[in-house]
Amino acid sequence: MADRTEFLEAIRHRTRRGQYKPTKSPDSVWTPGVERPGREEIADPQARFIEELEALGGHGEQVESLQEARKYVLDLAREWEAKLLVRWDGEYLDELGADEPLRESGVEVALWREAPHLRETAGRADIGLSTAAWAIAETGSLVLEHGPKQGRSVTLLPPTYVAVLPADRVLRTLPDAVQKYVGNALPANVCFHTGPSRSGDIEMSLVVGMHGPGDVHVILVG
């Protein structure tokens, strides 16, 4: 019964308050309601977010304007020789103004609202493009709110995913992000996305891009 004992002890270890730390993030990220003395102060949330995202295998960039963000998206589409980009239908991405330059470069652009077969279109797309409600500096995570014009498939099915959001949407900590929803009406769906998709099988072989995009880019504007 040694194997059973070890198995149960492993479960106890992972559920014991303050003991299980899957990343180098502070304990308070993984133990709700517990503040640790000497918690690191994040002086530059944008720089820390990019650092954490790139440690996860993603790509981060801070630019001054939407024009620079648009150039990043266009360059990425050319680099990957993209044929189809699907994006959320929203005001901020309208202001990005990437649709026409992409089409002029030979890239079909489908808006989530306009796509006749939404999931099938997202499944064929080379790039998914969205914005994000928030970003979290200490974990390199995005907080995505989904709805009628903001389909989850855009952020999950294409092999390359790009998020463009204002730099002032970067919060310092996970509790800061959770606090945004305390006492407020919740969106239909809220997801926390942290870096490229990865999955480990029973032999502990890590596969990137198994259950979501393997290539993730986040552009902070401003």
Domains and CATH numbers, the chain: 46-221 (3.40.50.10420)
Tokens of 53: 């995202």
pLDDT at 19: 54
pLDDT at 184: 81
Q: How far apart are CA 38 and CA 187, in angstroms?
A: 34
pLDDT at 182: 87
Q: How far apart are CA 162 and CA 87, in angstroms?
A: 9
Cross-sheet strand order for the sheet of 189-194: 170-171, 134-136, 141-146, 189-194
pLDDT at 134: 97
Q: What is the mean pLDDT of each run of 10 residues along the chain (222 residues)?
A: 68 59 51 57 93 92 97 97 97 97 97 86 96 95 94 94 98 92 85 79 58 87 96
Single-letter amino acid code for the residue at 145: E
pLDDT at 1: 47
**Beta bridge partner(s), residue 166:** 221
Work out the number of other CB atoms within 10 angstroms of the CB of residue 61.
15
Contact 200, 210 (CB under 8 A): no
pTM as predicted: 0.79
* CA 110 from centre of chain: 20
Element (H, E) at 160: strand 160-166
Work out the number of other CB atoms within 10 angstroms of the CB of residue 118.
17
Single-letter amino acid code for the residue at 4: R
Contact 79, 113 (CB under 8 A): no
Instruction: Supply the DSSP symbol for 42.
Output: -
